Amino acid sequence: GEKVEQHQSTLSVREGDSAVINCTYTDTASSYFPWYKQEAGKSLHFVIDIRSNVDRKQSQRLTVLLDKKAKRFSLHITATQPEDSAIYFCAASIRSGSWQLIFGSGTQLTVMP
């Protein structure tokens, strides 16, 4: 079946540095790529998304890049802060009968003071 792979299970950075989380996907028809954040012991909430008609989207300190040829997308966080520490999940839309979101396995980002 179609997959979304998140290659880093953990990532540690120093406060103020940048963090990059990478994902790949297999379905060439995927057109929607959201990112969700899960803080310790909490639920998930949406942080940013990108659609396949663009290759870059920025929202404050977050930027998502999409490389459709390589079937790869990434989340870039600049000027990291301790409150950025969380698990980040990437996801991609796939067509399996009807449309579904497939999530990656998550990356635990730790921002060290």
Of 103 and 110, nearer to other proteins (C-beta) is 103
Q: How many angstroms separate the CA atoms of 24 and 90, rounded?
A: 9
Rounded to a whole number of angstroms, the minimum distance from the CB of residue 83 to other proteins is 18
Tokens of 63: 């930027």
Rounded to a whole number of angstroms, the minimum distance from the CB of residue 67 to other proteins is 20
Of 78 and 108, nearer to other proteins (C-beta) is 108
Write b or e for each residue in 15-42: b if 16 or more Cβ atoms lie within 10 A of its Cβ, otherwise e: eeeebebbbbbebeebbebbbbbeeeee
Of 4 and 19, nearer to other proteins (C-beta) is 4
Q: How many angstroms separate the CA atoms of 55 and 94, rounded?
A: 18
Rounded to a whole number of angstroms, the minimum distance from the CB of residue 90 to other proteins is 9
Of 16 and 99, nearer to other proteins (C-beta) is 99
Binding site for other proteins (CB under 8 A): 1, 6, 31-32, 34, 36, 42-46, 49, 51, 89, 93, 96-106
Do residues 92 and 4 lie in contact, with contact meaning Cβ atoms separated by under 8 Å?
A: yes
